[in-house]
Amino acid sequence: MPPFCYNQVSFLALIADVLLFQLAAYFTHCKLDLVHQILTLQTPLNLSFKLKNKRMAASFAKRLIDLGPKPELATKVPFRSQKVLLEKCVRLNSNLLQARKILMMCEQDMTDAEKLDYDQYNPFDICPATFKPIYK
């Protein structure tokens, strides 16, 4: 394959990652239960860090940490807990720990590598035909 084909493939992969990130970021604004909000924040956090959008990753990490339990409560597991509850607590603690690590790394360099069509502070609706935000 000629070298220009590799460049086209990597460019298409980047566009797909950016689109996936934007859709995941839009989904974080849906009104969901607390547990589901935590799950939806993990995807754009990881994708924005992968895309080297550190400012956006830091904002998702802060939102995730704010939703999670306090560090003192997160380490305590009830004495008579079931196995499922224990597994959920361990998984939540590891996700919050990962969010704290990403936040510490992103606060050193608050830059965004990719220009994204997403404004977390401006309320919006999603156009069902184009999946683009319609800001209010």
Per the listing, tokens 């560090």 go with 71
Counting every residue, how long is the chain?
136
- Which domain range does residue 70 map to? 3-135
Q: 12-24 pLDDT, tens per residue?
A: 566 777 888 888 8
What b/e string do you get for 65-86 counting C-beta neighbours within 10 Å, with b at 16 or more? beebeeeeeeeeeeeeeeeeee
Assigned token pair, 19? 């689109």
Q: What is the mean pLDDT of the chain?
A: 76
- Domain count within the chain: 1
Q: What is the pLDDT of residue 92?
A: 67
Is the pLDDT at 9 greater than 70, yes or no? no
Q: What is the pLDDT of residue 50?
A: 87
Q: What is the pLDDT of residue 8?
A: 55
Q: 32-76 pLDDT, tens per residue?
A: 888 788 888 888 888 888 888 888 889 998 988 888 765 554 455
Helix (H) or strand (E) holding 7: helix 3-27
CA nearest to 136, candidates 119, 112, 114 = 119
Span of 3-17, 42-56, 102-116 with lowest mean pLDDT: 3-17
Is the pLDDT at 11 greater than 80, yes or no? no
Is the pLDDT at 91 greater than 70, yes or no? no
Assigned token pair, 114? 């990719």
CA 133 to mean position of chain CA atoms: 18
Residue with the bigger pLDDT between 1 and 43: it is 43
Span of 26-30, 84-88, 112-116 with lowest mean pLDDT: 84-88
Q: What is the pLDDT of residue 37?
A: 86
